[in-house]
Amino acid sequence: CILLDAFVLTNFTVNQSQGSVDAVVGSDVTLLCLLSSPLLKGPVKWMKKTSNGQEHIYSLSSSGSETIAPRVTRTEAKSTVNFSITIRSVQLNDSGTYYCEKYKDGDMNTPFKAKEGVQLNVKGKRETSLGPLVLNLGTPRQ
């Protein structure tokens, strides 16, 4: 059992392979987070880097209770290795760097494994051009 624990700890990874994601205001975006093994027990968190530190997006405690920000859902709620999230109807202020963090049971201060994160870039909706607008107001009344 000790050898298995050492193996899991040594080889455990958190995969956030996207690097950067572009989205348009109002669209839904999925941010990937895949754990290499279900054997490492402990909480998982999604955080967004802000100018004041970090903003909580999602967490799953060791006891199984979830805390989720508005407009966020976990893509595979029952999975023990897929902690990807979907942000519905993204807004400009959702732009930023998001981190998926894995903690060892009993230590919520330091992430056991955290990656560089994924950069979400939200752009305003593209405006469609209808061409010149011509109004026929008729002849003025006298």
Three-state secondary-structure class, residue 36: coil
Q: Into how many domains does the chain fold?
A: 1
Residue 77, domain member (yes or no): yes
CATH of the domain at 44: 2.60.40.10
Residue 14, domain member (yes or no): yes
Could you give the CA distance from residue 76 to residue 1 in angstroms, rounded to a whole number?
A: 29
Residue 107, domain member (yes or no): yes
Domain that holds residue 32: 2-123
pLDDT in tens, 53-110: 899 999 998 888 999 999 999 999 889 999 999 999 999 999 999 999 988 777 667 7
Residue 22, domain member (yes or no): yes
> Which is it for strands 118-123 and 20-24: parallel, antiparallel or unpaired?
parallel
Residue 141, domain member (yes or no): no
Residue 134, domain member (yes or no): no
Q: What is the pTM of this model?
A: 0.77
> Which is it for strands 96-102 and 113-114: parallel, antiparallel or unpaired?
antiparallel
Neighbouring C-alpha atoms within 13 Å toward the C-beta of 20: 3
Residue 142, domain member (yes or no): no
